[in-house]
Structure 1
Amino acid sequence: MSSPDSPATSTRHALAGVLILLGLVQQILGFTGALPFPHGVGYALWLATLLLWRDIPRRTRWQAGALAIIGLALLVIARWHYGAQIAWPAVTSGNTYVAAMLVGVSFIGLIGNRSGRTRPLGRPITGRRGTLGTWLGVHLLGTILNLSTVFMIGDRLARRGPLTTPQLLALNRGLSSAALWSPFFASMGVVMTLAPGMEYSRILAVGLPLALLSGLLTTLELSRRFDLAEVSGFSLSPRSLLMPVSMAILVMLFHFQLTPRLGIVSIITFLLPAVALASNLPAGPRWTLHRVRQHTLTRLPAMRGEIALFLSAGLLTLGLSTFVAAATGSEWRLFSHFGSAQAVTSFLAIVVSAVAGLHPIIGVSVLASMLDLRGSEQTLFAFTALASWAVGTSVGPLSGINLSLQGRYGVSGYRMMRHNVGYALLLSGLVVVAILTLDAWL
């Protein structure tokens, strides 16, 4: 076996980095309709993952391998036992849009700081105020920038040292709770597709206060469980907010004016690399190419854990959803009427499935396929789906936020789950009250 510094390993890493960059470029080309290979993004990212497989940390490697094997097994069973039609060339495409976004977000490291020196850090904000600042910063900016905000703020906090458990929990809960009301979140896009007749104003009226309560709950709970005196938080000062707020403004400009047909995730995927290139061009094309080359050969291969987890989770999602659809058919209905009792039952079932390792999008999609929603039932279903997404992604070990924290900062998704169980139980109680309130209002 080649040593970590051997020429064979360096060549393998370089090839994998080029493939990851090629996957990003193909994803961006796909936004213009100029993608020559329909599934080329998945092929490039999976091939890079296979090249880097031996370098992925063992725990992550076993987890990603199990997800991929289970997903493939479910696809095989759905095809040969139930006769489901499966587009085999497309099975590598699950979660590639998220993986490509993560690759695009990694270019944040090339924005500014051309000298390579790190700016001195000011005095940190600690205690409850610092933790609340982290939650609030991720929550407010995450409503627009989604998962990329976690890396912007998390990397800034990590400059002072490895992230602590309270910091990781604040990042996790700040982002996941934004699913309760943000119109730009992936959860809202899914829900609007499944329940096009929902009333967003009522979702906002219930979801936003609930999200703020989750922030208060997080701050009080973490201050009770941990000594926050030395735990630094994110400062909401203008200097700290300059870059993420600027990016949020650019994202909104593209979303509403320049590229209204593209979703937020797609805009982030191409916008962050473009800004990174533009910030380096004043130093000359040669310098810009040097930094891109260095990023491709070092930073992109280092993302192997994140990419492997997302691709494998995407394969599991595809396998499970295909299997469930083939096994249950499309005629059976779970509930003849969707009221508060059915909403609470559905919410709890989706959260429990998230704890078991399934992404809430699976439960939400399967639930929608077994319902015939009419009138105000769509609004109640929409809130139920968003609430289960918010709670499920915070506690689920295989959710996007926890997979990202594991791949980026090395914290186990199951460790995050254990620390979030109490929070999930308390927030679930608030969600049940909100469901009863919304049902009475409709």
Structure 2
Amino acid sequence: MTVPGARSDALRGPTALLLYALLLSGIIVMVGLSTVVPGATLVAGALTLACAVLGLALVGRTQRLIAIVLMTIGGLSLILGGALGGTVDARDLLSVNQDLIGMVTAVSFLRLITPLSQATRPRLHGAPAVIRTALATHLLGAVINMGAVGIVGDQLRGRGVLRLPDAALLSRAYASAAFWSPFWAAAAAATTLVPGANTLVLLAVGLPLALVSIVLSTGDLCRLWGGELRTYTGYSLSWALIRVPLALVAVVMLAHQLFPELAVPRLVLLGGIGVTALGLLLRDWRRMPRTLARHARRDLPGLRGEVTLFASAGVLAVGLHVLFPLVHVVLPVPGFTVWVAWLMLLAMVLAALVGMHPVVSLAVVGALVHPLGPDPTLFVLAASVGWGVSIAVGPLTGTTMFLSSRYGIDSLVLSRRNLVYLAIVLAAAWPALWIVSLIA
């Protein structure tokens, strides 16, 4: 006799999570293998679609609704595009952000070799400690992504509560890493839409932009602390903290120079797994297989919200890319200029303010500007900056919701507090885009 509801409970139980972990592990393997066997990316795409379908049963109600809407719009756009004479082959149908998902899930393994607490005692106080904490969060976040917010946030909270100034610092410093880091979903998603960006130019322009944005917003953070600023010690840097990010940056940059034809997300995936494996080998080689397997089994399913959203956004992007050229959506601009890039960035931010995730807004604006033949480097920088500032000011983005659920921070209050940061980034982004237009 079947108990009512038993089937739906089973879909959310250990068996479903194990299957999900296996699917994600398969994506990592297939995306990595596609660097030498190009056809493996199609297998990764099929596994990604399977993750999207299974993820609908595993994510929360709001995420499920968003994913269903995105996939429905993408599917209908694909059908309508086909009816209007558009053609799409299997490779296009299976290009659903698998590189992006493989990179994000592979980078999560770096947590296994990243220390969870400070190895040194803070020496700076006041504004210098604020800047140091922001830079530490930025550096860690540039490589290990959301894990950095939890690592630094837990240390700042201690046994008490995380204060609003620290929450604002974490969101700004972390979000700014999207401006330049090749280890972020932002650059990976943008590169998928418009391949061929110059990674060194993105690094040379995006990193200074991020640092300028962080430093200029420090004054606002210091004002939030008021009289308590003098005793603020924040979070300190140590060699134990920075060696993992530096190792991964070095590996990926060297590999990119040696193999420029390989997509950066795939290099990040291989570099992340390789650096993690090396770190575990040096720590205790006998336990390395078990440690990797445990992370894949227990922690990878925790990324199901992001993965489902990225996969459903991939379906949306496929449909829009087929439909938009056929319905002749033409923007009233002569080409993808600096101003168009800046307005694209602004559009992503406005979408985030009303609750749209940047992976969705990027898919839409990417389809709109694609007929303009955008310069890849200019497009990726605009998309990356738009993505980064969006997750800092959007009340429903993953970063804001993480700070809200883990530390009890009011998401709307935090979003309003970060409007100062938004103004700084918008002002600094235009000259950065202009510089890229000159040297790209």
Interval containing the TM-score (normalised by the shorter chain): 0.7 to 0.9
What is the distance in 2 between the residues matched to 1:436 and 1:256?
25
Q: SS of 1:93's equivalent? A: coil
| CA RMSD, Structure 1 to Structure 2 (Å) | 4.9
Stretch of structure 1 that moved more, 156-165 or 25-34 = 156-165
Q: Report the CA distance between 1:238 and its aligned residue.
A: 3.1
Q: Report the CA distance between 1:394 and its aligned residue.
A: 1.4
Q: Report the CA distance between 1:29 and its aligned residue.
A: 0.7
What is the distance in 1 between the residues matched to 2:30 and 2:180?
32
Q: Report the CA distance between 1:27 and its aligned residue.
A: 1.0
What is the distance in 2 between the residues matched to 1:7 and 1:338?
46
List alignment gaps of at least 5 residues for structure 1.
none
Residue matched to 1:16: 20
1:61 aligns with 2:64: yes
Residue matched to 1:70: 73
Q: Deviations over 1:370-415 (max 9, x none)?
A: 36x8xxxx6xx9658734641454126999x944675798589985
Relative distance call for 1:369 and 1:92 in structure 2 (3 A) is same
Relative distance call for 1:368 and 1:265 in structure 2 (3 A) is same
Relative distance call for 1:126 and 1:108 in structure 2 (3 A) is farther
Match for residue 332 of structure 2 among 325, 331, 334: 334
Q: Report the CA distance between 1:102 and its aligned residue.
A: 1.5
What is the distance in 1 between the residues matched to 2:435 and 2:51?
49
Aligned residues of 1:105 and 1:272 also touching (Cα < 8 A): yes
Aligned residues of 1:135 and 1:215 also touching (Cα < 8 A): yes
Stretch of structure 1 that moved more, 427-436 or 47-56 = 427-436
- 1:140-219 maps to which residues of 2 (within 5 A)? 146=142, 148-151=143-146, 153-160=148-155, 161=157, 166-167=165-166, 169-174=168-173, 176-177=175-176, 187=187, 210-219=209-218
How many residue pairs get aligned? The number is 420
Aligned residues of 1:394 and 1:417 also touching (Cα < 8 A): no
Aligned residues of 1:133 and 1:236 also touching (Cα < 8 A): yes
Q: Report the CA distance between 1:165 and its aligned residue.
A: 5.5
Aligned residues of 2:97 and 2:311 also touching (Cα < 8 A): yes
Match for residue 421 of structure 2 among 420, 423, 430: 423
What is the distance in 2 between the residues matched to 1:192 and 1:51?
24
What is the distance in 2 between the residues matched to 1:64 and 1:398?
22
Aligned residues of 1:2 and 1:8 also touching (Cα < 8 A): no
Q: SS of 2:135's equivalent? A: helix
Q: Report the CA distance between 1:20 and its aligned residue.
A: 1.3
Aligned residues of 1:354 and 1:393 also touching (Cα < 8 A): no
Residue matched to 1:248: 249
Residue matched to 1:394: 389
What is the distance in 2 between the residues matched to 1:182 and 1:283?
27
What is the distance in 2 between the residues matched to 1:384 and 1:105?
24
Residue matched to 1:29: 33
| Counterpart code for 2:220 | E
| Counterpart code for 1:327 | V
What is the distance in 2 between the residues matched to 1:120 and 1:137?
11
What is the distance in 1 between the residues matched to 2:50 and 2:336?
45
Q: Give aligned-pair identity as a percent.
A: 24
What is the distance in 2 between the residues matched to 1:397 and 1:313?
20
Residue matched to 2:135: 136
Aligned residues of 1:164 and 1:231 also touching (Cα < 8 A): no
What is the distance in 2 between the residues matched to 1:425 and 1:328?
34
Aligned residues of 1:166 and 1:226 also touching (Cα < 8 A): yes
Q: Report the CA distance between 1:67 and its aligned residue.
A: 2.4
| Counterpart code for 1:20 | L
1:39 aligns with 2:37: no
What is the distance in 1 between the residues matched to 2:104 and 2:12?
27
Relative distance call for 1:255 and 1:225 in structure 2 (3 A) is same
What is the distance in 1 between the residues matched to 2:361 and 2:76?
18
What is the distance in 2 between the residues matched to 1:112 and 1:26?
26
| Counterpart code for 2:292 | V
What is the distance in 1 between the residues matched to 2:192 and 2:290?
43
Q: Deviations over 1:207-266 (max 9, x none)?
A: 666544322332223334567859874423334322222322232332334x44334322
What is the distance in 2 between the residues matched to 1:61 and 1:264?
30
Aligned residues of 2:20 and 2:51 also touching (Cα < 8 A): yes
Q: Report the CA distance between 1:349 and its aligned residue.
A: 4.6
What is the distance in 1 between the residues matched to 2:336 and 2:248?
40
Relative distance call for 1:5 and 1:181 in structure 2 (3 A) is closer
Residue matched to 2:287: 287
Stretch of structure 1 that moved more, 299-308 or 230-239 = 230-239
Q: Report the CA distance between 1:300 and its aligned residue.
A: 1.5
Q: Report the CA distance between 1:363 and its aligned residue.
A: 2.3
What is the distance in 2 between the residues matched to 1:192 and 1:2?
40
| Counterpart code for 1:23 | I
List alignment gaps of at least 5 residues for structure 2.
none
What is the distance in 2 between the residues matched to 1:305 and 1:192?
20
Residue matched to 1:223: 222
| Counterpart code for 2:242 | L
